[in-house]
């Protein structure tokens, strides 16, 4: 099993550009989440999903969209990037017992 994979590893955007961070898992987990990590703030939940077709907002959802068309994939979309979205983004999956499996992260810089 590859576990949770994320692409790209690094990305630089200009303000106003859009992009999609990809996340996939091969463990057949129903639950998937996106977090952002900023210095001194730990990880904060952006969006999460409890199954295909079902998503909900987390603590810091503004500026991000998600969809969950399959169990395996949970992409995160930035519609119009802002410097405040410079961060490290982690995708995670779990089988419903809250034991999260994290991907390696995507480091995003918005200029």
β-pair partners for 89: 36, 106
**Cβ-count burial of 32 within 10 angstroms (0-12 exposed, 13-18 middle, 19+ buried)?**
buried
Distance CA 93, CA 91 (A): 7
Using CB under 8 A as the binding rule, whether residue 74 contacts other proteins is answered as: no
Give the pairing type, strands 106-110 and 10-13: parallel
Residues in binding contact with other proteins, number by CB under 8 A: 25
Using CB under 8 A as the binding rule, whether residue 105 contacts other proteins is answered as: yes
Which one among 98, 108, 110, 111 touches other proteins, defined by CB under 8 A? 98
Instruction: Please choose, out of 12-20, 69-77, 79-87, 94-102, the segment that lies near other proteins by the rule CB under 8 A.
Output: 94-102
Using CB under 8 A as the binding rule, whether residue 87 contacts other proteins is answered as: no
Distance CA 60, CA 33 (A): 12
Q: Which CB sits closer to other proteins, 17 or 45?
A: 45
Residues at the interface with other proteins (CB under 8 A): 31, 33, 35, 40-45, 48, 50, 58-59, 90, 92, 94, 96-100, 102-105
């Amino acid at each position: 099993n590859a576990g949770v994979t994320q692409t790209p590893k690094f990305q630089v955007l200009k303000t106003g550009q859009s992009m999609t961070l990809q996340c996939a898992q091969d463990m057949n987990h129903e639950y998937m989440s996106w977090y952002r990590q900023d210095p001194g703030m730990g990880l904060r939940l952006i969006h999460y999903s409890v199954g295909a077709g079902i998503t909900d907002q987390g603590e810091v959802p503004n500026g991000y969209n998600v969809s969950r068309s399959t169990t395996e994939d949970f992409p995160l979309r930035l519609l119009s990037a802002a410097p405040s979205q410079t961060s490290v983004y982690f995708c995670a999956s779990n089988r419903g017992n809250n034991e999260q499996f994290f991907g390696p992260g995507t480091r995003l810089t918005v200029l």
